[in-house]
Homo-oligomer: A and B are copies of this chain.
Amino acid sequence: MKVAILGNGDWGSAIAQLSNRRSHSIQIWARNPRDHSRETNDLGKCLSGSEVVFFAVPSHAMREVALATREHLPKAALLVSLAKGIEEETGKRMSEVLTEVTGRTAPLVLSGPSFASEVSRGDPCAVVCASPDESAACRIQTAFTSDDFRIYTNVDLAGVEWGGSLKNVIAIAAGVCVGLQLGQSALAALITRGMAELTRIGTILGGKTQTFFGLSGVGDLILTCSSSLSRNRRLGEALGRGESLPHAVEGLKGTPEGLRTARSVHQILKMRGMEAPILQEVYSILYEQKQPMEAVRQLMAREPKPEF
């Protein structure tokens, strides 16, 4: 199978590894190629003849890269987004951006609990390939599944994308808990309440409830909230320790997706009049100079009540 990979970051490399394991032929496009024997900055050359195109770029670059691919995209190529965020200006999901720009009606998304570094190393992973076109999802499943990389299919594109995006904001809250040294019990409680919030909001936004309980929802939430390999959690940790936002962001390699997502989600919540205490406290910490300890206190101080 001929595979085009757009982006030479962590996920671009991980997909290249997976492709090699299944002996697919690969072409990697990068704005700034690091290794000219494997990578090109010629998009037309990269896409020529490709059967699958992976968009391994950050959410904020998706529209621009998709626009640039338009005149080169082979007609039958499957388009797969790997980005876990939403477009800031429009609040659109990545698959919506891809469809809008390319006119392809059934783009795919690969998501779920997986660090690119672990995928590259061959550690076992289980992920979800989502598309409204189930046969397209099955083609990706068949082409990229290996002993250590299990792909489940799901037709609920909206649920998979909202899960992947919202969990990054919850992960910032989890990091704040860690930075404030509140202990592991508090972190587990936060993840549990975060999961309920993500499910409730994600369902209103068009996802199916059961998707949020799956790999791309709770699974990815657990991974992102529990591991200091996550940039989103590390951002929260720094804020919890009292660092300023610019300083905290500077300390990370690359901007975590949750930073922008928190702002877009805040807009959506406001427009729709939805309540989401954790997402809102994260927004206040990031953009309204709220003290992390004060935010946590308010989350804890609500009236005692039945669990459901």
Instruction: State the A residues within 8 Å of B (CB).
Output: 112-115, 118-119, 121, 123-126, 128, 134, 141-142, 145, 147-148, 150-154, 182-189, 191-193, 195-196, 210-211, 213-215, 218-220, 222-223, 226-227, 229, 296, 300-301, 304-308
Given contacts A182-B123, A195-B218, A218-B195, contact A154 B188 (CB under 8 A): no
Given contacts A191-B219, A196-B213, contact A185 B307 (CB under 8 A): no
> Does B145 contact A185, Cβ atoms closer than 8 Å?
no
> Does B118 contact A222, Cβ atoms closer than 8 Å?
no
> Does B308 contact A220, Cβ atoms closer than 8 Å?
no
Chain B proximity of A250: nearest CB distance (Å): 25
- Return chain B residues, CB-CB under 8 Å to A152: 304-307
Per CB-CB distance, the 8 closest pairs between chain A and chain B, nearest first, are A123-B183, A188-B223, A192-B219, A113-B188, A152-B307, A126-B189, A124-B186, A118-B183
- Say which residue of B112, B148, B185, B227 sits within 8 Å of A123 (CB atoms): B185
- Return chain B residues, CB-CB under 8 Å to A154: 306-308
> Does B304 contact A145, Cβ atoms closer than 8 Å?
yes
- Say which residue of B113, B184, B213 sits within 8 Å of A223 (CB atoms): B184
Given contacts A192-B222, A213-B213, A214-B192, contact A182 B124 (CB under 8 A): yes
- Return chain B residues, CB-CB under 8 Å to A192: 113, 126, 214-215, 218-219, 222
- Return chain B residues, CB-CB under 8 Å to A145: 304
Chain B proximity of A245: nearest CB distance (Å): 24
Given contacts A150-B304, A213-B196, contact A121 B218 (CB under 8 A): no
Inter-chain pairs besides A185-B223, A192-B215, A192-B222, 13 sampled, C-beta below 8 Å: A118-B185, A119-B185, A124-B182, A126-B186, A126-B300, A134-B306, A152-B307, A153-B306, A153-B307, A154-B307, A154-B308, A184-B223, A195-B218
* Cross-chain pairs A/B with CB under 8 angstroms, 26 sampled: A113-B189, A115-B184, A118-B186, A123-B186, A124-B186, A124-B189, A125-B186, A125-B189, A126-B185, A134-B306, A145-B304, A147-B300, A151-B304, A152-B307, A154-B306, A184-B223, A184-B227, A184-B229, A185-B223, A188-B223, A188-B226, A191-B219, A192-B214, A192-B219, A195-B218, A211-B308
Report the separation of the CA atoms of residues A126 and B190 in the bound assembly, to the nearest whole angstrom.
Answer: 9
- Say which residue of B114, B142, B214, B304 sits within 8 Å of A185 (CB atoms): B114
> Does B121 contact A183, Cβ atoms closer than 8 Å?
yes
- Return chain B residues, CB-CB under 8 Å to A218: 192, 195, 218
Q: Give the residue name and chain of the B residue nearest to A217 (CB).
A: B192
- Say which residue of B118, B126, B183, B214 sits within 8 Å of A184 (CB atoms): B118
Given contacts A188-B226, A300-B147, contact A215 B183 (CB under 8 A): no
Report the separation of the CA atoms of residues A226 and B300 in the bound assembly, to the nearest whole angstrom.
Answer: 22
